[in-house]
Structure 1
Amino acid sequence: MMGVLSIIKIMGKAGDIMANQPLTTDNAAQMALNDLDQQLGTTADGLTQEAAAKRLETVGPNTIQHSQKQSQLLRFLKNFTSLMALLLWVSGFVAMFAGMPELGIAIWAVNIINGCFSFWQEHAAQKATDSLRKMLPTYVNVIRDGKVTQIDADDLVPGDVFQIQAGNSIPADARITEAASLQVDESALTGESLPVFKQVAYEHDDGKFALKNIVFAGTIVTSGTATATALATGMQTEFGQIAKLTQSQKQTTSPLQRELNRLTQQLSLIAIGIGVAFFILAIFFVHYPVAKSFIFALGMVVAFIPEGLLPTVTLSLAQGTTRMAKKHALLKDLNSVETLGETTVICSDKTGTLTQNQMTVNHIWLPGQEYTVSGTGYVNNGHIQLNQKDFDISQDANLARLLDIALLNNDTKLETPKDNQATTKILGTPTEAGLNILTDKAGLDKVKALQATPRIAELPFDSDRKRMTTVQQLPEQQRMLYTKGALDGVIQICDQILDRGTVRPLTATDKAAIDAANKKYAADGLRSLAFAYRTEADSVTPDPATYSIKTAEQHMTFVGLAAMSDPPRPEIYAAVEQCHRANIRIIMVTGDSALTAKSIAVKIGLTSADAKVITGDQIDSMSDAELQQAVKGEVIFARVAPEHKFRIVSMCQANGDVVASTGDGVNDAPALKKADIGIAMGVTGTDVAKDAADMILTDDNFASIVAAIEEGRTVYSNIQKFLLYILNSNVPEAIPSVLFLFTRGLVPLPLTVMQILMVDLGTDMLPALGLGAEKSEPGIMDQPPRPRNAHLLSRSIIWKAFGLYGLTASLISSLAYFFVNMTYGWPANALAASGPVYREATTMTLAAIVFCQIAAAINCRTQLSSVFKIGIFSNRHIIWGIVFEVFLLTCLMYIPLLQGLFNTAPIGGVEWVILLCIPVPLILLEETRKYFVRRHVLKSATKGA
C-alpha cells in the first residue's frame, strides 16, 4: 500500500548501507524493534557520528527539493513584455522606419539594459531570500553515540534515533519506539484536522497514513513526547513523494506589488497620453512632418516613463531584508518589509522576548519555611546555599521532595559547553533549565536518579491544565507521581500538604498562605512554580500506559513553590521608549500571573501603574465588542491561553490597527497567521510557530522587532525618495519640448530624444540606486505609523517632484540653453537650429539637468533632517553614482563617437564653472526649506503636548 521508503542492505557493521532490499512503512510498522534496528543498521543508542556521516553522503540531505515554478529563460523574457517595454519596442521600430536607426537602437538598448537589470535584481533578491531561509534551520534532538545531541534536521538520516515533543515538526518518516500521550496533526497529509493518537504498538486504522506506530515527515506534534527511529528522509518520505506532484504554488500579489504595478501603469498611461497630445500638437500646431512629430512625442513618452522603478524597489527590499538579518530579524518574504513599516500595535509575549529567558530560582517557599537561594556556580557536594549558608538538604524533607520533583519531572537538558567561551546550550525550556541548575547546585545527579527511579509514564504539559505529571517507578513495588506547574493548575488537584515531613489535609488556611506567598513573588516580578506528588502501589494501575489526566492527577500532596526571576533584557528599556515615540502601542500577552505581568510591564516602562490587567478567564466572559474596546486602552493580558491571543489580535485589527504578534508555541500558530506580521522566536520557537510566521527573531529579542519596524519604515521611505528623484527630472526633460511647441518651433528643441534617454538610464540610474540603500533617517521612529491607505505617490512627492524640484531644474536648464546662445549673439541672431552652436546649447542643457540631479540626489536623502547632520558623504553609493554621471557626461562631450550619437559638443571653462556652482544653491535652498518645516513640526508637537 505504502510507497518504498528506502532501499538498504546491511554490509558488515551497522551504519553501512547500500541499495538492495525494499522497506515499506507497512513492513517497518509490523517488524519487531530489534529486527527493525538490524534492518536499518542502528541500535537504541542511535548511530555513531561516523556512520551517520557516511549515510548522509549516500542518501543526501533531508530536504524537500522544490522544482522551479518557471524556467530562468521565461523569467528573463518576462522582463521584456511589460506595458512599458512593449511601448519602447514599438517606438524603436518606428524610429528605424523614420530613418533614425541610431535612435531606434538606443531605445532598444534602453529596453535591453532595463530588462537585464530587472532580471538581475529579481535573481539577486531571490538569492538573498533563499540565503535568509537557510539561516532558519530546523533542529532535531538525535541520539548519536548514545548521547542526545542537537543537529540540523537536514542532516538526519535513515536509522537515526530522534526525540520529538509538542510543537515539533516531524523531520522524517519514522517508527515510534517510545511514546507518552503523543498526538500528531496529520492534516498536511490527510486533510483531517483532528489530532491522531500515536503509540508504540502496531495498529492499523482505515485509510492511508493510518499506522498508529508510524509518524510521517511534515506532520506536527500537538501534544506529548516520543522517541522514534527514522525510516526515510527527504524526497523518499511520503511527504516528499507527494511534493513531487504538488509543487506548483500560486503566488499572491502583496499590497506593495499591487501599488507598484498600479503606479507603473498610471505613469505609463500618463506618458502615452502626453506623447499623443504632443504628437498632435507637433503636427497641427508646429506643422512638423509626421515622422518627426512621432520622434518628438516619443521623447515625451521616454521622459515620463520610470524605467528603473521596479528593479530599484526590489533592490531596496532586498537590502532592507539583509540589514534586518544583521539585526536578528529574518523575513521570509521581501514584501513583508513594507507591512512592518505600517505596524501600529505589537502583541508581545513576556518571557524571553521582553525578558532574558534565563530563569534562575532564587526563592523556595515551603510550609513554615522560606529559603533564599544564593551562591553562584555548582556546589555538587550534597549542600545547597540557602539563606547565605551551605544547607544540607537531608535536614528538610520538604526541600528534598521539592528538589526530587524538580529533578525528575523535567525534560530539559543542559549541554555542557565545549570550551570556556561557549555558553551552556538549553535543550528544552528555560524554566526547566532553571530547575536543572538548582538541582545541580544541590549536588543531585539526574542520571543516577533516573536509574534508581525510571520514568514509566508521562502526562505532558499543556496550556489548559498548566501542569505536567511524570510517573517514576520505585524499587519497592511503588510508584511516585510528580507534578509541577502553575499554582492554579496544581493546587486544584491537591487535597493534602507536606508540612515539615508530615502529610496532613490541605486546609483553607494553607491555601491562603500559599496564595499570599505566590502573590508576593508575583508582585516582585518573579515567576513561581508549584510542586506536588502522590505515592501509589503498582497494583493500583497495573499498566502504566493507562494513566490518564483524570486518574493520575488527583489527590495530590502539595509540597511548595519555587520562585524564579527572569530579568528584563538590558536593551528593552530603550526599545519600549522608541515604540512610544513612534506611536506604536505594545500589548503584553503572557501566561504569567497578573501581578508578575504588571510588575514587569511597569518596570520596563511598557505601561503605567494605572494599566488595566485582563486575565484569560475574563476574556472568556467578554463579548467581541467589549474586548475590542478594551484593546484600545492601556491594557495587559495575563494568564492567557493561545486561543485568547487570536481574539486579541483579531480585535486590534477590527479597530483598524496593523498588528505584529509574537509567539513560540504550537498553539500560537493561528494568532501568528492572523496577525499582519507574525513573529516567531528563533531560539525557543516551535517549528509550527516558525512555519506560520512572516518573520523569525534569531535572538528572541523584542528590541529586534523594533529595529525591524524601523527598517520597514526606512525601506518605504527610500522607495519614496527614489520616486521623487526620478520624477523630478521629468519636468526639465519636458519643458524644453513645451518651449518648442508653444513658440511654434521658434525655439529649437533644447534637448534631443537621445539626450533624454541618457538622463533617464545613464546619468540618473546609479544615484537612484544609491537612494535605495540609504540608512534610516534620524527621527524616523519619532513619527506615527503611516496610514494603510497611504500611497507611494503622495501629494507631497507630486508637489516636490513636479513643482519645487522640477520647475527649479527646468528654469536652470532653460537658462543654460539660452546662455550658450547668448554667447553666440542671441537675441540679435536667431537661435541656432543645427550646427556646432546648437549642439553646444543642447549639451549645456543636458549638463545643467545632470547637475540639478546631483543636487536632487543629495536633497532626496532626507525628508526632514539636514543632510549635513547625517553626513553629506555618508552614502558612498550616491557619491560614486554622482562621480559616474559626471564621468559619463564628460565622455559624451569629448568622445567623437558619442558626440555624433548624442548630438553633443565640448563646452568651455566658463560653462563648467557655472555647472559646478549649480548644486550649491539648490542644496542650501532645500536645507532652508527643511529647517522651517522642522520648526513647524516641532511647534505643532509642542502645542499638541
Structure 2
Amino acid sequence: MPSQKQSSDQLAQMPIDQFYQTVASSDNGLNANQVKTQEAKYGPNVITAAKGQNKLWQFLKNFTSLMAILLWVSGFIAIFAQMLELGIAIWAVNMINGLFSFWQENQAQKASDALKKMLPTKATVIRDGQSQQIDTAAIVPGDLLVISAGDSISADARVISSDSLQVDESALTGESDLTDKKADYHHGEGKFAEHNLVYAGTVASAGSAKVMAINTGMNTEFGQIAKLTQGQQSKPSPLEIELNRLTRQLSIIAISIGVAFFLAAIFFVHYPMAQSFIFALGMVVAFIPEGLLPTVTLSLAQGVQRMAKKHALVKNLNSVETLGETTVIASDKTGTLTQNQMTINNVWLPDKVYTVSGEGYVNNGQVMDGDQPVKAGKNAGLDLLLKAVTLNNDTAVKAANKPDGQPQIVGTPTEASLVILAQKYQLNSDELNAQNPRQKTLVFDSDRKRMSTINKNEKGQLTLYTKGALDGVLAKTKSILTNGQVRDITDNDVQQIQAANESYAKQGLRALAVAYRDLSDNESQDLSKATAENTEQNLTFVGLTIMADPPRPEIYAAVKKAHQAGIRIIMVTGDGPITGKSVAVKIGLVSNQARVVTGDELTNMSDDDLREAVKGEVLFARVAPEQKYRIVKANQANGEIVASTGDGVNDAPALKQADIGIAMGATGTDVAKEAADMILTDDNFASIIAAIEEGRTVYSNIQKFLLYILNSNVPEAFPSVLFLFSGGLIPLPLTVMQILTIDLGTDMLPALGLGSEKSEPGVMQEPPRSRKAHLLNKSIIWKAFALYGLVASLISSAAYFFVNYAYGWPKHALSASGSVYAEATTITLAAIVFCQIAAAMNARTKYTSVFKIGLFSNRHIITGIIFEIFLISLIIYVPFLQGVFNTHALGVAEWLFLIAIPIPLVLLEELRKWFVRKYFMKLSQ
C-alpha cells in the first residue's frame, strides 16, 4: 500500500500543465508503463479492513472469561479431590457455553459480512487516449476517469472538464445538498467543498465530467477516516464489566463460605482435613452459578434473533445488553430522522398560497387550496409555475419497483421533488416535454445560482424558464405575474416576496424561485448566441416552491417512546441551525427553548464547556466529522451510555467511539458499517428503540436467572449448617452429588428458560439503569436468600425431619446410612426441586402478575419444569442412579406433598407483587 498521500488542496490549485506533470499523466491519461509504475508505488485502490482477531484466539477467548476460569479451576479441584463426575460435569458446562458463544458470534459476523457493499467494481478510464472499463481496484493516481450521472466515484480526483456535474457528497458531509463541480478552483464553504475536487465514496447525481485521480485506496479521504476508525481500541462492554464484577462477588462469597465450612467441619464435627476439604468444596460448588454463562449467552443470542426480526443486526452479543443501558442517542438528521427526500409542501404565489399533501417521493398527494384539491387550469400563475419546473428539469422519476413503494430517482433530490409536485398536480411531464421540446440549456452554476431552459411551444414560440435561489432570480427580475396579469415589479412586491422567504426559512424550509420570459424573434433566430448573461434578464417572477426533507413517519412515536424511557436524543447534523432546530422541534426531539450549538461555536468550546452543554436540551448544527466524535466523548465523560447513529464515512469515528455504534444498512457506507456494533437493515430509527427494549429485557432476564439460581443456594447450604452446628448429630440432609443434581441438572433448563422471557409490561416506562446499579443488587439478595431461599430451606428441612419422624425420630437417633437416611435425603432433594418450580414461575416477572402474562406462555420454562420432574424421577427410581446419588423410592403420599408445594408459594408471591403494585409503585409515581 502507498505510504504517501498527495495534498489534494495543493493539486487542486495548480495550473493544469503543472498538475499533469506532478501526477505524471496527461489529457490522454496514463500509458501502460505509467500504470505499472503507479501500481507498484501506490498499490490497489481498496479500503483495507482492520485486521480481525486471529480465529484461534477468537475461539479461545470464549473459554477465558473470569467466570470460565473459575469453573475450570473448580472442575480441576473436584477431579483432584477424587470427585471425577463433578469435575467432568463442570467442565462440560464450560465447553458447551464456549462453543455456543463462538457459534453465535460467528453467525452474527457472517450476516454482517453479507451486508457489505464495497466501492463500485467497475470504472471507465481513458488510458493511452482510449476509453476502457477497469476494476476500481486497478485505478491509480494519474488515471483519467469518465464520470456520468449515477456513477459512484472511486478515487479522490481533480475535475479536468465538467458538463454540469453535480455530486452527492452526503456520505462524507452527512447532508443531501448536491455540490457543483467544475474545472476552475474555488474552495467553497467547509471541508470537501473544493469545486474542482471529487472524493471517493460519493456519487455523481447529475451531469458528466472527466476527472483525474490524485489519491486512491487508504490515501483517499474515505480511507483516512477508515484508518482513524480502525486505530481505535475496542473496549469491554458494560455487560462484560458487570459480569466480571459479579463473578468476583460470587467467587468471594463461595470461597468464603467454603473456608467457613472447612473450618467448621474440622472444629465442630472433627472431620479429617481431606474429608473437610471435600465437604467445603461441595459448598463452593453450591454457591457458584454454573449456569450463569450459558444463560447470559442464551439471553443475548435470543435477543439478537428477536432484533434481527425487527431489522436490527447486532454484530456482537454483548452489544444487545449495552443497548438496554443507553441513556443518550447522538443521531444524525438527514436519512436517519428524516427521509432524505426533498418534498414540496407549499407553493407561494404573489396572489395565492397553496399547500401540497403527501410526503416523500411516493406520488400520493395533491395540490390543495384550503381543503379542496386543485387541478390544472384553475390559476394561471400556478399553471405556469408547474409547467416551468417540469420543463426546466433534468431528473427522471421512474416507477416504483420496490416493496416500500419508493420510485427510483435518477438525478437530484430537489428536481425530483418538482417532478413529484407536477404529478400531484396531474401534469403529464412526458406529454408536456413533447409539446414543448427543449432547445437549449443554460446549466446551473453555483455563482449565479440559477438554471434555465429554452423551450418551443406548439406555436413555435420560444420561452425561457428559470429556477434557482431567490436572490439570484430577483436580481434579474423586471416584472411579476399576479392575478393572471403581468406588471412591473415594485419595491413592495420585492419586500413581500423576501418576507415570505424569510418566514419559511425560520421554519427550516427552503425556497426555490421560478421565473420566465418569452424570447424575442431576434433572440429566437440564433440560439447559439444565447448565454446566461444576455438571456437571463428582464424575467417575470412567478412564485416560490417551498420544500423540506420530511421526518420519517415512524419517528414521532419512536421519539416519544425514547423520552418515556428516560433516553435523550441529541441531533448532530451538518445542516444549518434553523433547519436542524425546526426538524428537531417538529418531531418532538426538543422544545423551542433548546440551545443550538454550531460547528464554529464547538470549535472554540473547551471540553468542560462541551460537557456542560450536552447536559441540557441541545442540538448541534454545521458540525464536522471530528466534532461528532467530540460530542460522543463529552457525553461519555458525563457518565452517559451513548448510542451514535450514522450512515456516512464522516460518522465512522463517532460510531466506533460510542458505546453502541448504529449504522444504516440500506444507505450506510462500508466504513460506517465496519465501525458500528449494530446495523439497521431498514434504516428505521424506530428499530433502535425496539432494540433498546430488547436490551433492557436481556438485562432483566439475567437478573431473573440470578434470583432463581441463587435462591436454591440457601436450601442447599442449610442442611450442611444443621449438620455442622449439631456437631454431626444431624446427618447431612443433602449430599454433594445431590447438590450437583440441582445445580447442573434440575435447575439448568428452567434457568435457561428465564433467559428467553419476553419484555415485561412497562419496561420502557422506566429510566435507564444507573451506572452504579449492578446485576446482583439488594432486591435480588433479599428475595433470593431471605425470602425464596429461606422458605425453601424450611420446607425441605421439614420434609427431611418428617420422614425421620415417621420412622421413630426423636425416640431413635438420626442415622447417617440405610434406607431411612436415603429416603430422608431424597425427599429433601425433591422438595428443593419443587420449591424451584415455584421460584421459576415467581421469577418470571418483577411486579406483573404471572397470570397476566400467561402461566404457560413461556414454553421453555414449561419444558424445563417437565424435564426436571422427569430427571428427579429417574434419580429416585433407577437403581443405578440410586446408588450414585444415594436416593430411595418415594411413595404416593410423598408425591402428593411435593406436588402441593408450588401452589401456595406462587400464590403468596402473587399477593406480595399485588401489594407492591398497589402501594409502593403508586407512591413512586
Q: Same fold (TM over 0.5)?
A: yes
Is the aligned partner of 1:253 residue 2:212?
A: no
Q: Secondary structure at the match of 2:475?
A: strand
Match of 1:334 in 2: 317
Sort the Cα spacing of 1:357 and 1:931 in 2 relative to 1 into closer, same or farther, 3 A. Answer: farther
CA contact (8 A) 2:572 2:628 kept: yes
Distance 1:252 1:169 in 2: 34
Distance 2:416 2:710 in 1: 58
Aligned residues: 829
Distance 1:372 1:95 in 2: 79
The code of the aligned residue for 2:494 comes to D
The code of the aligned residue for 2:511 comes to L
Q: Which of 467, 486, 503 matches 1:519?
A: 503
Sort the Cα spacing of 1:259 and 1:434 in 2 relative to 1 into closer, same or farther, 3 A. Answer: same
Distance 1:732 1:320 in 2: 32
Please list, as runs of the form range in 1=range in 2, the aligned pairs for 1:292-331 lying within 5 A after superposition: 292-331=275-314
Distance 2:867 2:211 in 1: 61
CA contact (8 A) 1:684 1:700 kept: yes
Q: Which of 497, 500, 510 matches 2:477?
A: 497
Q: How far did residue 670 of structure 1 move?
A: 5.7
Deviations 1:62-81 (A, max 9, x none): 99788763344x55555556
Sort the Cα spacing of 1:557 and 1:832 in 2 relative to 1 into closer, same or farther, 3 A. Answer: farther
Q: How far did residue 656 of structure 1 move?
A: 4.9
Please list, as runs of the form range in 1=range in 2, the aligned pairs for 1:577-588 lying within 5 A after superposition: 577-586=560-569
RMSD over aligned Cα atoms: 5.8
Is the aligned partner of 1:838 residue 2:821?
A: yes
Distance 2:232 2:563 in 1: 40
The code of the aligned residue for 2:693 comes to E
Q: How far did residue 119 of structure 1 move?
A: 2.1
Distance 2:849 2:892 in 1: 32
Please list, as runs of the form range in 1=range in 2, the aligned pairs for 1:130-141 lying within 5 A after superposition: 130-132=110-112, 134-135=114-115, 137=117
Deviations 1:77-133 (A, max 9, x none): 5555666666666665665665x4xx3233223212322332223322331343255
Q: How far did residue 841 of structure 1 move?
A: 1.6
Is the aligned partner of 1:848 residue 2:831?
A: yes
CA contact (8 A) 1:312 1:769 kept: yes
Please list, as runs of the form range in 1=range in 2, the aligned pairs for 1:871-910 lying within 5 A after superposition: 871-910=854-893
Q: Which of 265, 274, 277 matches 1:282?
A: 265
Q: Which of 74, 79, 92 matches 1:112?
A: 92
Distance 1:804 1:431 in 2: 66
Deviations 1:471-502 (A, max 9, x none): 98999xxxx998757xxxx6489634364489
Q: Which of 373, 383, 393 matches 1:407?
A: 393
Distance 1:629 1:127 in 2: 42
Q: Which of 365, 376, 380 matches 1:390?
A: 376
Q: Which of 788, 796, 801 matches 2:771?
A: 788
Distance 1:805 1:654 in 2: 40
Is the aligned partner of 1:529 residue 2:515?
A: no
Q: How far did residue 806 of structure 1 move?
A: 1.4
Distance 2:538 2:673 in 1: 39
Sort the Cα spacing of 1:491 and 1:912 in 2 relative to 1 into closer, same or farther, 3 A. Answer: farther
Distance 1:600 1:237 in 2: 36
Please list, as runs of the form range in 1=range in 2, the aligned pairs for 1:40-51 lying within 5 A after superposition: none
CA contact (8 A) 2:599 2:620 kept: no
Distance 2:737 2:86 in 1: 7
Q: Secondary structure at the match of 1:389?
A: coil
Q: How far did residue 874 of structure 1 move?
A: 0.9
Q: How far did residue 588 of structure 1 move?
A: 5.7
Is the aligned partner of 1:612 residue 2:593?
A: yes
Please give the TM-score of this superposition, normalised by the length of structure 1. Answer: 0.72
Shifted more, 925-934 versus 310-319: the winner is 310-319
Match of 1:745 in 2: 728
Is the aligned partner of 1:923 residue 2:906?
A: yes
Sort the Cα spacing of 1:497 and 1:213 in 2 relative to 1 into closer, same or farther, 3 A. Answer: closer
Match of 1:416 in 2: 399
Distance 1:279 1:613 in 2: 63
Q: Secondary structure at the match of 1:791?
A: coil
Deviations 1:375-406 (A, max 9, x none): 9999x9xx999972324999889727851686
Sort the Cα spacing of 1:699 and 1:529 in 2 relative to 1 into closer, same or farther, 3 A. Answer: farther
Distance 1:674 1:93 in 2: 40
Distance 2:778 2:744 in 1: 25
Distance 1:65 1:606 in 2: 36
Deviations 1:513-554 (A, max 9, x none): 33325526976xx8433247999x9xxxx9xxxx9xxxxx99
Is the aligned partner of 1:818 residue 2:804?
A: no
Shifted more, 867-876 versus 275-284: the winner is 275-284
CA contact (8 A) 2:349 2:381 kept: no
CA contact (8 A) 1:577 1:605 kept: yes
Q: How far did residue 260 of structure 1 move?
A: 0.8
Match of 2:274 in 1: 291
Distance 1:556 1:695 in 2: 53
- Structure 1 portions without partners, runs of 5+: 4-25, 41-61, 145-154, 188-196, 202-211, 461-466, 548-552
Please list, as runs of the form range in 1=range in 2, the aligned pairs for 1:647-796 lying within 5 A after superposition: 656-669=639-652, 672=655, 675-687=658-670, 689-796=672-779
Sort the Cα spacing of 1:131 and 1:470 in 2 relative to 1 into closer, same or farther, 3 A. Answer: farther
Distance 2:358 2:779 in 1: 62
CA contact (8 A) 2:158 2:197 kept: yes
| Identity across matched positions, percent | 52
Q: Secondary structure at the match of 1:705?
A: helix
The code of the aligned residue for 1:876 comes to R
Deviations 1:599-632 (A, max 9, x none): 8846x66566xx3155566984996788766765
Q: Secondary structure at the match of 2:393?
A: helix
Q: How far did residue 347 of structure 1 move?
A: 4.9
Q: How far did residue 853 of structure 1 move?
A: 1.3
Sort the Cα spacing of 1:347 and 1:182 in 2 relative to 1 into closer, same or farther, 3 A. Answer: closer
Sort the Cα spacing of 1:731 and 1:249 in 2 relative to 1 into closer, same or farther, 3 A. Answer: same
Distance 1:632 1:824 in 2: 71
Sort the Cα spacing of 1:89 and 1:626 in 2 relative to 1 into closer, same or farther, 3 A. Answer: closer
CA contact (8 A) 1:362 1:564 kept: yes
Deviations 1:838-883 (A, max 9, x none): 2222221111111111111111111111111111111111111111
Match of 1:124 in 2: 104
Q: How far did residue 779 of structure 1 move?
A: 0.8
Q: Secondary structure at the match of 1:530?
A: strand
Please list, as runs of the form range in 1=range in 2, the aligned pairs for 1:424-443 lying within 5 A after superposition: 424-426=407-409, 432-439=415-422, 442-443=427-428
Distance 2:94 2:87 in 1: 11
Deviations 1:397-427 (A, max 9, x none): 972785168623x5xx544345999542446
Sort the Cα spacing of 1:401 and 1:134 in 2 relative to 1 into closer, same or farther, 3 A. Answer: same
Distance 1:177 1:341 in 2: 51
Sort the Cα spacing of 1:637 and 1:86 in 2 relative to 1 into closer, same or farther, 3 A. Answer: closer
Sort the Cα spacing of 1:93 and 1:851 in 2 relative to 1 into closer, same or farther, 3 A. Answer: same
Deviations 1:773-821 (A, max 9, x none): 1111001111122212211111111111222111111112211222222
Q: Secondary structure at the match of 1:766?
A: helix
Q: How far did residue 178 of structure 1 move?
A: 7.8
Please give the TM-score of this superposition, normalised by the length of structure 2. Answer: 0.73
Distance 1:496 1:364 in 2: 21
The code of the aligned residue for 2:420 comes to I
The code of the aligned residue for 1:734 comes to A
Distance 1:937 1:81 in 2: 43
